[in-house]
């Protein structure tokens, strides 16, 4: 043994975790606790937010049903995470740019993509990714981590051009293990990108628990290594999620560089419809989280304020059910893809070789 003991190391370990604040405004019982932040939402905004959350939940439920009926491919549902997705989005401007993961198709719809495109995305159709110009977002990213560096780049471009726009990007807890994640937040820090990184910690990356992703006690503390702020937010608390995101937006727009927000949330269902979560997590754990559902606390809080009732909720559910059903029908009518079309998507102007292939396939497709 050397003369030194390990106190220096051990003290450092304690400090790094203790430094991460947790924001919670509305607790599980629907009571205001105002930990770290206070709500700035008006009554009218509260109702709007609740409508969005119910819309999100219903959309998930309807899409899962469609999945089970074989009307959609294999979809990654986000039941349980709608607050983490949509209450954060609620704090963004329509011209803020969203770089989503495969699990964030529903937020993308809220940001302007059509429900029909969402259905086509799950089904694996290129038309899903053809947006009208007014949508500020990318199609869902399949490669975990890539979106983080892209957000750093876009946020840099926004700052250089003095735009009132922010790049918002989502990633899961598993995704924070990727090299691209570290590179992205580090670049964003150095280049003072107008960016907000939202880490949705739903406790699992497919079957792998969050504790096996990193020895760090929080994911938010990874921000410290990039020299940027990192906070944890109760991911089942829409008011805290909204406030934290709004504040992060203001912070980055003020020229301070990016912010990392870790939302503590949970995926109620399977990773995708082909996943069997019973293999890696207990029903007790699921039940525990279902009891924390943001809808329960929002119903209580808004109900007590006289802002929300069952009929209002049913109205949203009915309208959303119709929206999803209509989208499924519209998507059924989408013309089938053609090889010639896929070939045309590869270059702005097809190379002579590809042009030949296009003509060959067009001739075949006519028959």
Whether 71 contacts 118, CB under 8 Å = no
Q: Which helix (H) or strand (E) holds 91?
A: none
Q: How far is the CB of 89 from another protein (least distance, A)?
A: 22
CA R_g for the chain: 22
Tokens of 64: 């899962």
Tokens of 109: 């719809």
Closest to ligand TPP by CB, 19 vs 208, is 208
Whether 293 contacts 80, CB under 8 Å = yes
202 binds, among another protein, ligand TPP, none (CB under 5 to 8 A by kind): ligand TPP
Tokens of 180: 């691209």
Reduced to 3 states (helix: H, G, I; strand: E, B; else coil), residue 326 is helix
Closest to another protein by CB, 56 vs 172, is 172
Closest to ligand TPP by CB, 168 vs 204, is 204
Q: What angle do CA 86, 92, 97 make, to 5 degrees?
A: 100
DSSP 175: G
111 binds, among another protein, ligand TPP, none (CB under 5 to 8 A by kind): none
Query: Which residues, in sequence order, are CB contacts of 313 under 8 Å at separation 6+?
Result: 54, 299
User: According to the binding rule CB under 8 A, does residue 59 interact with another protein?
Assistant: no
103 binds, among ligand TPP, another protein, none (CB under 5 to 8 A by kind): ligand TPP
User: By CB under 8 A, which span of 36-44, 105-113, 120-128, 253-261 interacts with another protein?
Assistant: 120-128
Candidate residues 77, 174, 258, 269; the one interacting with another protein per rule CB under 8 A: 174
Whether 169 contacts 104, CB under 8 Å = no
Closest CA to 207 of 262, 271, 144: 271
Q: Which residues are catalytic?
A: 267, 271, 280
User: By CB under 8 A, which span of 49-57, 156-164, 306-314, 350-358 interacts with another protein?
Assistant: 350-358
User: By CB under 8 A, which span of 147-155, 253-261, 319-327, 335-343 interacts with another protein?
Assistant: 335-343
Closest to ligand TPP by CB, 202 vs 218, is 202
214 binds, among another protein, ligand TPP, none (CB under 5 to 8 A by kind): another protein
Q: Which residues bind ligand TPP (CB under 6 A)?
A: 103, 142-144, 172-175, 202, 204-206, 271
Residue in the shown chain whose Cβ atom is closest to ligand TPP: 172
E-only strand ranges, 20-137: 22-26, 32-35, 97-99
Closest to ligand TPP by CB, 193 vs 213, is 213
Whether 188 contacts 197, CB under 8 Å = yes
Closest to ligand TPP by CB, 206 vs 363, is 206
Q: How far is the CB of 329 from ligand TPP (least distance, A)?
A: 29
204 binds, among another protein, ligand TPP, none (CB under 5 to 8 A by kind): ligand TPP
User: Residues of 247-278 as b/e, b for ≥16 C-beta within 10 angstroms?
Assistant: bbbebbeeeebbbbbbbbbbbbbbbebebebe
User: According to the binding rule CB under 8 A, does residue 143 interact with another protein?
Assistant: yes
């Amino acid at each position: 043994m050397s003369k030194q003991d390990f106190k220096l190391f051990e003290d450092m370990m304690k400090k790094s975790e203790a430094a991460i604040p947790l924001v919670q405004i509305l607790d599980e019982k629907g009571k205001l606790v105002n930990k770290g932040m206070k709500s700035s939402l008006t009554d009218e905004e509260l109702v709007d937010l609740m409508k969005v959350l119910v819309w999100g939940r219903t959309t998930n439920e309807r899409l899962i049903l469609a999945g089970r009926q074989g009307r959609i491919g294999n979809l990654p549902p986000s039941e349980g995470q709608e607050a983490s997705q949509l209450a954060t989005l609620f704090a963004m401007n329509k011209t803020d740019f969203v770089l989503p993961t495969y699990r964030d198709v529903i937020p993308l719809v809220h940001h302007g993509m059509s429900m029909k495109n969402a259905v086509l995305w799950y089904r694996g159709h290129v038309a899903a990714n053809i947006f009208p110009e007014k949508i500020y977002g990318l199609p869902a990213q399949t490669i975990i981590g890539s979106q983080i560096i892209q957000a750093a780049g876009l946020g840099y471009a926004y700052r250089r051009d003095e735009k009132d726009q922010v790049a918002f990007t989502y990633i899961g807890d598993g995704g924070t293990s990727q090299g691209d994640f570290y590179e992205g937040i580090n670049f964003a820090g150095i280049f003072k990108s107008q960016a907000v990184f939202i880490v949705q910690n739903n406790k699992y990356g497919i079957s792998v628990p969050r504790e096996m992703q990193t020895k760090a006690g929080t994911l938010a503390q990874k921000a410290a290594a990039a020299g940027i702020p990192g906070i944890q937010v109760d991911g089942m608390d829409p008011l805290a999620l909204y406030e934290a995101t709004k504040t992060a937006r203001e912070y980055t727009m003020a020229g301070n560089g990016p912010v990392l927000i870790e939302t503590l949330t949970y995926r109620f269902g399977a990773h995708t419809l082909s996943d069997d979560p019973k293999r890696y997590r207990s029903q007790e754990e699921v039940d525990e989280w279902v009891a924390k559902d943001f809808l329960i606390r929002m119903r209580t809080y808004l109900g007590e304020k006289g802002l929300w009732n069952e009929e209002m909720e049913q109205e949203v559910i009915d309208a959303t059910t119709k929206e999803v059903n209509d989208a499924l029908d519209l998507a059924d009518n989408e013309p089938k893809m053609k090889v010639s079309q896929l070939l045309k998507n590869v270059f702005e102007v097809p190379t002579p070789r590809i042009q030949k292939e296009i003509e060959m396939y067009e001739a075949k497709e006519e028959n």
